[in-house]
Structure 1
């Protein structure tokens, strides 16, 4: 029997207003809160508070697929950040299955470091790097610091933990967006700052970058080159960030550089969706600022914590038993600064 297909009603003010399509296969098996997150308006930014096991990866994947299929959004307009490379690959695979035939190569989907690497490979000359620059890991950093201590400082009998402490200091400074020249020397950090200065010089001359440097260089270049910032903020009109509670100060500063775009001499907000859990933050040791980042996000995008259209809460848990949830909720209830409610 022939069934008439539902049509979407598009607002006269924009062709990017999302509308819920009840018979769309992308929305099958989503609960009401998940469906709201997937189909929310592209006219405004949203904070999705998602507890453990509440299906946030599925929501993000379905949101991207929904934008591509139903909102006339092109893959190159999407900038999506995941916490791990594995999550990025899984999301890309799921989207390909949802929308067979759509080419996703132009979509920027990956970790902060992966996306910064892609950006710098394109604009390496603007930051003084060669196109074949090498990315070094913490073990490489440790080796470089030991070399500096031995060859330049002439300190051969340093304690085993001193190089590690210096590497941690360098990485923490970068996560806060600080160069060695930005740090006011004090007695307790004067020596570490000296090594940081020599470390910066060494990796630059060797055409190498560490993980923090990837993002710091990206952020600095976008700050310095206004035309470049305008280009990317106009290109990436849909920005999605997973595990938002674990973003660092430096990562947050990068995101803020792409919040607005110039549309015919009029400043327009890009459409952000941050997905996070304000009940957890396990990366504070490397610069993550859970509650601060969420509050800053709300303020920067003029979102009202009391407006249900601005904050969507995923509270249905699909992973844990009631006993586990009751125990977790009893502990979390003591956090009076949280925005989300208890998981069910």
Structure 2
């Protein structure tokens, strides 16, 4: 099994390389020499990141494998948007030149990737996949909530450990750069990490006579990553355009009538392109070839999605399961129903 899809190097805030297909996952277990060779060949890392990579090769593997999850979440959140978090498979950078800007979309990419690192690492700790961490060791003894007292038990997700590692590894390069974009990206990294922590849930199991719940055992668990994605998408919608101060140490709202950004807000420096036409310099893939909804007036509607350039219609046949019936015991039998549907596709730039 390959470590990651072939031939793609990904560098956002995480600086993880998607290694060529010939590199096998087992090479992460070759010991000190093997991890040193591997980490020295990941482009874009600064010295401190390379040191951490050599010290924690299994952690790097876990984070790298989790990249697909946050990219999938990003694409879900923007599936009906002109910019749909599309990646460029043959580019050294998954998002092309988009990341050279400091737009609202880039703010989301940094936040969701940082959140993804925390979520993936905390989950791996709880599952016992890493020898450097496990369940949250601070969740011991007794505590209480609105329902009364309980005993800590089970395995609480060690989010604080994941956040600390993410801060050390992910933020290191940006801390060294300290230009305007680095300051903005560090802020959005932090907002992403805070979003994961925001959705920690207390889960409990009842004990007692006939399930009376006279005694409870509880643990802290992360909510599904979809909650984090939904939250960051809302933050994207209300993101604040900012200007960096003359000392390059902080920022403030770019316009006096804008609210001052909080630690939870996403921030950006530059206006976004319209993403209507393919433009490699801005990282826009254009909307030509995208499916649109002819009857909608929202972002997924053909007028908006296709940027007024028109669309083509084709009739396709789709097969779905229908007339399903339950048969005792224990099967469900369905018919294959064929349906002709109209599909609308945005025209490309003319």
Bigger Rg, structure 1 or 2: 2
TM-score by length of 2: 0.20
Give the structure with the higher percent helix. Answer: 1
TM-score by length of 1: 0.20
Give the structure with the higher percent strand. Answer: 2
